[in-house]
Amino acid sequence: MKLSSANINVLVKACRKAAKTLIRDFGEIENLQVSLKGPGDFVTASDKKVEKILIDELQKARPNYSILSEEIGEIKNDSEYKWIIDPIDGTSNFLHGIPHFAISIGLEHNGEIVCGIIYDPIKDEMFIAEKGNGSYLNNQRIRVSSRSKLKDCIIFTGGPRIDSENRDLVLKEYKNFSSKVLIPIRKMGSASLDMAYVAAGRCDGFWQRNLRYWDVAAGIIIVKESGGFITDFNGENEYIRNKTILVSNAKINSEMIEVLK
């Protein structure tokens, strides 16, 4: 089986088209125009080109849907639907020639993410999900892992930035997790792919502070539809508002929350 609803088809087409630009630019990375938004926060000409292609394609297919995107901000329309776009999640990896980054788009309906796509163009891996219809990687159904003991798990995280106000707290959380797992914690540099990898059972859990909505929107539905858990650090459903997100398989969620307490 594969997902082939109208909105999924729109997402796939937009990502495939934008990915051509991304792959070409990745091959010419040393010539890429780069500017600095803030400490450790880069934006490239590719971000802007990819974003424009995505928005053009999505608006062509769904002209009445609103849009929230990392670089341009918000385009408000009358619809109950809104696309949430991160044109390149993992920009620093992209800039350094590390082939681990993704296009990430979620579709929100009345405040709830109902479908999403995370596309890694270099590996040609497309993670997609739709509410009630499951999660898929390149048309194969995916599920979270079944490991039940935190010590045996692979856990991902990210950050902190040099200017993070809670930098010391983040490092303390990292140290706490490091003392609980046998396999060293991974920091891969793309939150959307971290979430997709939990959904696919490649890793067992992920936590991070201070992510923005476009970093996690597509991942939310992909994780949920693969049987995973998403909470804030207190085990509540306020991960967007609190900007603390914890993603896991169904069996280690409570153990991860205990570590973060």
Instruction: Sketch out the chain's domains with CATH numbers.
Output: 6-141 (3.30.540.10), 150-260 (3.40.190.80)
Q: Which of 44, 91, 157, 231 is catalytic?
A: 91
Q: Is 70 assigned a catalytic role? A: yes
Q: Which of 8, 67, 88, 117 is catalytic?
A: 88
Q: Is 91 assigned a catalytic role? A: yes
Q: Is 162 assigned a catalytic role? A: no
Q: Is the pLDDT of residue 142 over 80?
A: yes
Q: Side chain identity at 179, as an amino acid letter? A: S
- Residue 205 · residue 252 · CB < 8 Å: yes
Q: Is the pLDDT of residue 33 over 90?
A: no
> In this predicted structure, what is the pLDDT of residue 224?
98
Q: Is the pLDDT of residue 16 over 80?
A: yes
> In this predicted structure, what is the pLDDT of residue 45?
80
Q: Which residues are within 8 A (CB) of 226 and not within 5 positions of it... i.e. 6 or more apart?
A: 129, 134, 135, 142, 143, 144, 198, 199, 200, 201
Q: Which of 25, 47, 89, 130 is catalytic?
A: 89
Q: Which of 51, 57, 70, 232 is catalytic?
A: 70
Q: Is 89 assigned a catalytic role? A: yes
Cα separation, 98 vs 166, whole angstroms: 27
Residue 35 pLDDT level (bands cut at 50, 70, 90): low
Q: Averaged over 162-167, what is the pLDDT?
A: 83
Q: Is the pLDDT of residue 153 over 80?
A: yes
What value does the mean pLDDT of the chain take?
92
For the CA atoms of 232, 93, 177, 234, the dihedral, rounded to the nearest 10 degrees, stands at 0
CB-facing half-sphere around the CA of 247: CA atoms within 13 A: 40
Least confident of 75-79, 109-113, 230-234: 75-79
Cα separation, 184 vs 178, whole angstroms: 7
Q: Which of 204, 215, 225, 232 is catalytic?
A: 215
> In this predicted structure, what is the pLDDT of residue 46?
86
